Amino acid sequence: MAILITGATGFLGRHLVRHMVEAGETDLVLMDAVPNRAAIADVAHKVRLVPGDIRETTAIVDTIRKYRIEGIIHLAAFLGTGGTRNPIPSINVNLVGTNNVFEAARLSGVRRVVYMSSNAIYPERRTLHGPRFDEDDPPGPDATNLVYGACKLFNEHIARYYMEAFGLDPVGIRPTAVFGEGRGQRRGAPGDHFMVAPELAWLGKPVTLPPAEQVSDWIYVRDAAEVFMRAYRVEAPAHRVLNMAGECRRSGEINEYLRALFPEAPLSVSNEPLVMNSLLDTGRLRETLDFTPRYSVEEGIELYIEDVKRREGA
């Protein structure tokens, strides 16, 4: 029996696939509307990559039945600016598409579905510090990310409905900003996010860093992959929606580290707080999945740069 991963050649997907192969998973089916084969070239011979669009329920059902899928990790998403001018792509992929995954699982008898929610269900932060939200705090998607956050919040409600009405076995993950190779190339998302700074600095491109006293949650993409794998494997979880974050760090520490790594890079520091994700409490994540991050931010940055170097042939 196989595991289906949607969005499997995107940013997080490529690292999750690699991580699960290394962990001994031998039957992975990767589904993408527009597969990025280069992103998984090193493990492509160990997995099956199939085209498929989550906006079409029949495509998901056909894949489940053809490859005898026993569970799904759903990562496919539309990462725009929140759909301020055109919300339809975000709604079609993030809301309708995710509902299609749940419905295809129901029609095919698949129970475990791990899906990507988002910390966009909380308000964004324009201050140096801020409250740390846990999963019981009331949601409030920010106006700048309203459509995306609202879609993800709906996903959580509909997952609960499918669990209670049809016996689906869902686990939703609300990630903070994840960093690592591939973040800067995500379709529909800006490439100049401050967590892409290590890559931009190595490439010699200018980047603006947050003020020294601004704090943020970091999680390296390989740690994020471990979270999703554990969420897939956990039995009878006490909680069905989990915040995901790693270390909480002052930006000044990271800025100094990047300046030491790249003394010639055109790095500047903003005089005003950058818009950032809310800070997340991860007690439920530790309790439910027995997870603690393996990588520090500095270790993650070093591995990130090594991956970029390989990608660029350096």
| Positions of the chain with pLDDT lower than 50, given as ranges | 82-83
For residue 174, which phi and psi values (nearest 5 degrees)? -105, 95
Closest to 72 measured CA to CA, from 19, 31, 22: 31
- The pLDDT tens digits for 213-263 are 999 999 999 999 999 999 999 999 999 999 999 999 999 999 999 999 999
Q: What pLDDT, on a 0 to 100 scale, did the predictor assign at position 200?
A: 92
For residue 139, which phi and psi values (nearest 5 degrees)? -75, 160
Q: What ranges do the domains of the chain cover?
A: 2-184+218-247+278-297
Q: What pLDDT, on a 0 to 100 scale, did the predictor assign at position 77?
A: 94
Q: Strand pairing partners for 209?
A: 269
Strands 48-51 and 28-32, bridge-based pairing: parallel
Q: What pLDDT, on a 0 to 100 scale, did the predictor assign at position 232?
A: 98
Q: What pLDDT, on a 0 to 100 scale, did the predictor assign at position 17?
A: 98
Q: Please write down the long-range contacts of 25-30, taking CB distance under 8 Å and 24 or more positions apart.
A: 27/1, 27/2, 27/3, 28/2, 28/3, 29/2, 29/3, 29/4, 29/5, 29/63, 29/67, 29/69, 30/5
Copy the structure tokens of residue 105.
């699982």
Q: What 3-state class would DSSP assign to 52?
A: coil
DSSP string, 74-142: E-----SS-SSS--HHHIIIIIIIHHHHHHHHHHHT--EEEEE--GGGSPPB-SSS--EE-TTSPP---
Q: What 3-state class would DSSP assign to 2?
A: strand
For residue 6, which phi and psi values (nearest 5 degrees)? -90, 155
CATH of the structural domain 2-184+218-247+278-297, one choice from 3.40.930.10, 3.10.450.50, 3.40.50.720, 3.40.50.970:
3.40.50.720
Judge contact between 28 and 48, C-beta under 8 A.
Answer: yes
Q: What pLDDT, on a 0 to 100 scale, did the predictor assign at position 96?
A: 97
Count CB-CB contacts under 10 A for residue 157: 8
Q: If 0-12 CB within 10 Å is exposed, 13-18 middle and 19+ buried, where does residue 260 land?
A: exposed
DSSP string, 258-308: HHHH-TTS-EEE-SSPPPBPPEE--HHHHHHH----SS-HHHHHHHHHHHH
Q: What is the pTM of this model?
A: 0.95
Count CB-CB contacts under 10 A for residue 313: 5
Q: What pLDDT, on a 0 to 100 scale, did the predictor assign at position 83?
A: 47
Copy the structure tokens of residue 136.
């019981």
- The pLDDT tens digits for 260-306 are 999 999 999 999 999 899 999 999 999 999 999 999 999 999 999 99
Closest to 5 measured CA to CA, from 168, 174, 228: 228
Closest to 123 measured CA to CA, from 136, 114, 133: 133
Average confidence score pLDDT of the chain: 94
Q: What 3-state class would DSSP assign to 63?
A: helix
